[in-house]
Every structure is written in C-alpha cells, then in structure tokens.
Amino acid sequence: MRFGTAAMAVAAIFTLGSSEVSAAELSIVSGSVGADIQELRTQLAEFEAETGHQVDIVEMPASTSDQFGQYRLWLAAGTDDIDIYRVDVIWAPQLANQFVDLRDAMADVIGDHFPSVIESQTVEGRLVAFPMYTDAPALFYRKDLLEKYGRNPPATWEELTETAKVIQDKERAAGSGQIYGFVFQGAPYEGLTCNGLEWVASSGGGQIVSPEGEITINNERAAQALERARGWVRDIAPAGVLAYKEEEARGVWQTGNAVFMRNWPYAYALSNGEDSPVKGKFEVTTLPAEPGSRSAPCLGGWNLAVSKYSKHKKEAIELVRFLSSRKAQKERALTYARLPTIPALYDDPDIAERQPIIAEWADVVEKAVPRPSAPTKRQYNEVSKEFWTAVNETLSGAASAETNLQTLEHRLRRLKRDGWR
C-alpha cells in the first residue's frame, strides 16, 4: 500500500503552456481484483497529462468486504489523506454522510447514465457517488467441452449440475485429473451474498429483505436452493471453493480446470487475453434459473465518491468527471469489458466488436437483482454478513440450510428491532 506518499499530498502551482494553473496531488483508493489497478493507472496517466494534477493510488485488498471495513475506519477518523474513494454500488446509504453531494457538479451529465444507477447512489436527495461502471455476472462455459459431449448451455441449475458432472467425470477419466465442473465465489464475504442471492432468487425464494424492509429469506424455496449448492461442494466444485473469491475462481477456470464458472464480465476480457489457455474456447450465457423463475444475476458496480474531508475537492471532482466520462467508460469497455453506465455505449460498434458480451448484456444489466442495501439502510453490511455466514455454513455442511435460515431470520430480526436504521 502506498499510503505514505498520499499522506503528503500538497497543492502546487505550475505553469502549463502560457497559463498558470493550480495542480494538486490527489489520492484515490481502489480495490485490486483482476486488472483493477492497471486499468486505473492507465487512465490516471491520461488525466495527469491533461490536467497537470498528480494522482496516487492507494491499493486495497481484493475482497470488497475488507475494503469496506478499511474505508469505514478512515472515514470515521475523518482522514484527509484520501480524496476519492472507489465505492461498491451497495455502500451509498452507509457512507453517505462522509461524501460530497455531486448533484450540482455533475448536473450536466447525470442524464447520460442509467437512472437506476444514479438512484442507487442517491441518499436522501444527495448524489454521493458517480458511476464508473456497472456489473452483472455471467455463467462462463467451455464451448469446446460442451460441443465435445453434445451438451447445450444449461438453462436450469439441475441441467448445470448434471452437465458439469458428466463432463468433469469424462474429462477426468480421459486424463484431465484437475478439472472441476463448476467454480464460483463461496468464501464468507460480500461476493457470497451475490452468489447466494442469485441461487435463491432464481429458485423462487425471493429476496433476503424485501424492498419494503420485510425479512423474507427464511422459506422453503430458499432452503432448497442452498441445499442444492451444498451438493456441489466436493462433487462438481472443489472443497476449496469455500474460500474462493472472484480471483481464485478465475484462476481455476483460466488454467482450463473448470467447465463452468460464475463470474463478472472483467473475467471475460482477462480469459480472452493473449496468454490465456482458455482464449477462444469459451462463451457466456445468463445464470440458470429454476423452471417458473427467472435468471437473477446480482447487480454490482463501482462508483466514485469525493471525501468530505478532502482538501482538494474541486480537483477530486474533476477526476470523478474524467473517470466517469463517456470516453473513459468506452476505453474500459474496450479493454476490460467493463459494463458502461451510459446506455448509448451498448450500441457502440467498436465495443460490440471487441467485447461482444457488452451488447449482449444490456438486457441482463437492466434485469439484474439489487441487493437489499436500500431497505436495510446503514445496516446493510451487517445484514449481508449474516446472510453470507448462513450460506457459507450451509456450503460447509456445518448445519442444514433450514437450520441456518432459521438462525439467520432470528439474527436479522434482532438487527431490525424497531425498523432498519
């Protein structure tokens, strides 16, 4: 982590061409999944060249839950060492009071973005973060292997389970000892809340907490969905999946050792990289759903917020404007398959050619299922933690899904007491 240099951020005056402009040293904090940091660094270099400002990246761990904990500590301490925070779509209600309202500063460009994303970052009328990209997961599958065994991409979880098992067993018998049927994110962190919610919501089990704030997760359909997932562990998924986040799953998949993977679109770009063993051998489709239910990809995405404690708010807002711009979003879509928050980019021919997943995903993004961060307000992280714990303990077989969901309901009721705060 390069926090030391950020702590020394100072403003300086320098001369650019004939006019004198004020240049600032800014620091932005960001997570580090896949090529996150490389992607940011490239764009910051452009920003620095254009404005004369200098931007330091403070690198965070890959787990979004660990990042959240760190952000909360810094913000609670009122640190002025960080000017811009790259924030997960679910955090707005919890961190709102510590961020600058961007409504006026961004007024001219707000209308370019998906209204739902803007709404997700609006808390009590204040726009607390501005969109960088949106996210909705895919089911990645090995086209070559499905063709080899005459299988179609699965539409239901049962089909996925069966196809994964057949191909895994046959490939192993043919000498691919390392191959697994399915990898996903089973570690106890925010990513498992996404996976778990997808299994439940696509199986008729509904939400964790409804948009009206009702605790709805303790039901039979939800329990069945989690039991089905438990059955994958050590059968079509490695035992280690209980500790997998995005990158561990991608590691297994990208070395050619998984038939299916649940992951976000960043993995599409990286899996098609020059040195990727699965380059050209895979396709993506929407996540399965049970008959009678619809696919329920979890809505993700990252936004940019300016700290209330920043000493360089004006320059920090300039950077937010730069990184959220159509130009920057297009560049990230082209190179890293980041899903734009600007609807017009879904029809962009250059993007469609380089990253076909994006045009295909317009519909998926629109129908993606939000996590209950709006109804549970500042308690979302606690709610999510209780949910991912219940799911992880089901996957590990510590107790049945039914028991774990009962305990979960009990804990959520205690958190809610007289209403979500």
The residue ranges that bind ligand GLC (CB under 6 A) are: 64, 88-89, 135, 190-191, 194, 246, 264, 300-302
CB closer to ligand GLC, 83 vs 190: 190
Residue 317 · residue 84 · CB < 8 Å? no
First-last CA distance in the chain: 34
Q: What is the DSSP letter of 306?
A: E
CB closer to ligand GLC, 181 vs 191: 191
Report the alpha-carbon distance of residue 421 to residue 416 in Å, rounded.
8
Cβ 61 to ligand GLC, closest distance in Å?
12
Cβ 191 to ligand GLC, closest distance in Å?
3
Rounded to the nearest 5 degrees, what angle is found at the Cα of 64, between the Cα atoms of 182 and 160? Answer: 15
Cβ 300 to ligand GLC, closest distance in Å?
3
Cβ 21 to ligand GLC, closest distance in Å?
35
CB closer to ligand GLC, 141 vs 302: 302
- State the residue number with the nearest CB to ligand GLC: 300
Cβ 306 to ligand GLC, closest distance in Å?
20
CB closer to ligand GLC, 302 vs 309: 302
Cβ 88 to ligand GLC, closest distance in Å?
5
How is 334-373 classified by DSSP, letter by letter?
HHH-PBPSSGGGGG-HHHHHH-HHHHHHHHHHHHPBPPTH
CB closer to ligand GLC, 206 vs 301: 301
Q: Report helix, strand or coil for 24.
A: strand
Cβ 69 to ligand GLC, closest distance in Å?
14
Cβ 25 to ligand GLC, closest distance in Å?
28
Distances (CA, A) of 319 to 1, 67, 216, 260, 262: 21, 21, 41, 38, 32
Cβ 364 to ligand GLC, closest distance in Å?
13
CB closer to ligand GLC, 89 vs 145: 89
Report the alpha-carbon distance of residue 47 to residue 319 in Å, rounded.
7
CB closer to ligand GLC, 181 vs 301: 301
CB closer to ligand GLC, 193 vs 295: 193
Q: Of 290, 253, 262, which Cα lies nearest the Cα of 145?
A: 253
Assigned token pair, 67: 């990042």
CB closer to ligand GLC, 181 vs 188: 188
Residue 141 · residue 148 · CB < 8 Å? no
Report the alpha-carbon distance of residue 285 to residue 138 in Å, rounded.
6
Give the bridge partners for 11, in sequence order: 24
Torsion of CA 64, 184, 385, 379, to 10 degrees: 60
**For helices 190-201 and 380-395, angle between their N-to-C axes, nearest 10 degrees:** 70
